[in-house]
Structure 1
Amino acid sequence: MAEDPSILYRPETLSEISSLSLRAMTLVEGLLSGQHRSPHKGSSVEFAEYKAYTPGDDIRHIDWKVVGKTDKYHVKQFEQSTNLKCTILLDTSGSMGYASPLKKQDAMPKAQYVRTLVAAFSYLLLKQFDAVGLLTFNRSVTNHIPPRSKPSHFQHILHALAECKFQGETDISQVVGDIIERLPGRGMVIVVSDLLVRDDDVLKTLKFLCSRGLEVLLFQVLHPDEIHLPFDGDIMFESLEDDPPVGLDPADVREQYQAAVQEFISHFQTSCPSLGIDYQFLDTATPLEQALRYYLLRRKSLLKL
């Protein structure tokens, strides 16, 4: 039975981020009037540049002060504000459904965490009149909801989140190749995944999205158990995807395992900025309200640079 969509996001999460504005850091195109900068010139409040007057230009935009000083007619052009089109790509492979078997575990299960994350971003984008869509995938696309900006669209996204099942393997490169033509020419793509994939070309794939004029935000989500391996005794580990089971005593490999995980995370932390990808690591033990607030404030500060 599908979960009640109303429990997929917490009021405290939404209240924390509702006052923060997620603005695109690159120029975007759109059809509706919003608050994001566009490469198109049009009638708006933000002055862009002057151009020489030519027959057919709106005489209301002639700058008469410039005419008085130079005796030449120039027309003001403005940056048009448009809404952002964002597509959220949610990895729904088996590993994304990990929940800890440990009795004393304060961390949120990954499935609940990423559902809340997607719901929160969807709410925020719709609140600021942007269009948001959702695409869930493992080795292929399992569901696709095109971007819409109507407030009622939020319920469609919540329903899809409630219905999604976390199973199978992940193939980000294959999925991106399949859906690239469906994505807006200029806009935003938010990828939510643990990045536990066999494909070594994930960064190459995401860079390809950037080359198509899309702004890429990458959220890597891991559970503390996946980071620290906090188990004791001889244990048989069963795969959530299709790997064979492995029996071992975690104490024998814990140090090497933790070092490998940190190297794995650092690889994305150091590589993404140079590729134009906005990367954020999320540990499900970190309250989502805190993680999102930090992330959005960081983006806001970058926009002022």
Structure 2
Amino acid sequence: MDTLLSLRVFAEVAEHKNFSAVAERLNISPAMTSKHVKHVEARVGARLLNRNSRNVSLTEAGAQYLQTIRPLLDGLSEAEAQLSTDSLSPRGTLRMSMPVWMSNPAFAQILAAYHQQNPYVTFDVDLSGRKINMVEEGVDLALRVAFKLDEGLIARKLGEVTFRMVASPAFLDSFGRPQSPSELNGAPMLAYSQVAADGRIKFGGENGLDVKLRPVLVSGNESILHQAAMAGMGFAMVPSWSAQSDLNENRLQAVLPKVDWPKLQLQAIYADRSYLPAKTRSFLDFLAGPNGITSALRDFSST
């Protein structure tokens, strides 16, 4: 059998988790799709996929093997495209994962500006904020402010995300407006589970700020925390980027605006590939460029 074709079939099945869909996509029969996968397993001497009548999933060996061969297949595809067209332009679906707070007009403008320059790239964006396995799920790029790197992934820093403590005017009228950080101790907090699930905010070293609020709502979804703050449920620490319009319209008010609240690095996370697909590489460069997210974050950090 054609081993290169078998590798491509295996990679497609591993990422789409469906033999029939891949068979239709590649215009081969489901039986031949299965034969290609078995051919690869026979060559490596290991079971790469768990499959039954309902589900297909990668084994541990399969995930490791996919991570190894995917950059080779991507590099070969790019080389073939370059030879046939004399130029390689970004194209295809860019699968991304990013936090909910990035669903805002500023980031939408960045996507639109990139798409105008690269019309053959489409976006598939996951805003769930859940922990993902980028290799198994076929995610090209993840944007995160708090991320523990898995093996085989690398990070590119894009800029600092500034945070603000906010609350609704009605809540502050009832609770009072704190004049110092210590007055926040024991106050009701809407806590982001990935960073401060216990309500503690500590930064600045041994002599820095350390306050302990009382979580009344804990979630990994920043949107519900933001909405609960506007509903008057408590204090929330939110990115300046997502809070600015509500602060401007007085739906939220800044708490202790002169305090230097924490800053976190926004990172672009992607697989450590020798040959990044053009769609991924070009979008990364756009994000870090003069009209990308780096500039936008800098603008919001100065407001």
Band the TM-score falls in, shorter-chain normalisation: under 0.3
- With a CA cutoff of 8 Å and minimum separation of 6, indicate the structure with the bigger relative contact order: 2
Q: Normalising by the residue count of structure 1, what TM-score does the alignment of the two structures yield?
A: 0.27
- TM, length-normalised to structure 2: 0.27
